[in-house]
Amino acid sequence: MVAVARALQPDNIRAPKDLKIACEPVDDETLVCNIEVSPAEDPAKILTLRNTFDDLIINMKAAIDSLAKASKFTR
């Protein structure tokens, strides 16, 4: 999961200013991502959180799928 966490770092850096994202590998099969949201009076910020979460999941899946395919070639 270290490679997946590294693959997600650029997305975490470019997160909206009201969001803080940190992903840390726990072990070879577990990645924990924490998303912190600053309080906001604008209800639209919930949509920003949802879109960011969706992007995170999509990019995480892409990284995992890429690593799985690459590992087939190295065996």
The CA radius of gyration of the chain, in Å to the nearest whole number, is 14
pLDDT at 26: 94
Residue in this structure with the two tokens 């690459």, named with its chain if needed: 70
Is 80 exceeded by the pLDDT of residue 11?
A: no
Q: How confident is the model at residue 7 (pLDDT cuts 50, 70, 90)?
A: confident
Indicate the pTM of the whole model.
0.75
Does residue 74 or residue 7 have the better pLDDT? 7
Domain ranges of the chain: 2-66
Give the integer Cα–Cα distance in Å for 48 and 2: 26
Give the integer Cα–Cα distance in Å for 15 and 34: 13
CA trace torsion 18, 40, 32, 1 (10° rounding): -30
Across residues 4-12, what is the average pLDDT?
A: 82
* 41-64 pLDDT tens trace: 788 878 888 888 899 999 999 999
Nearest to 37 by CA among 53, 49, 47: 49
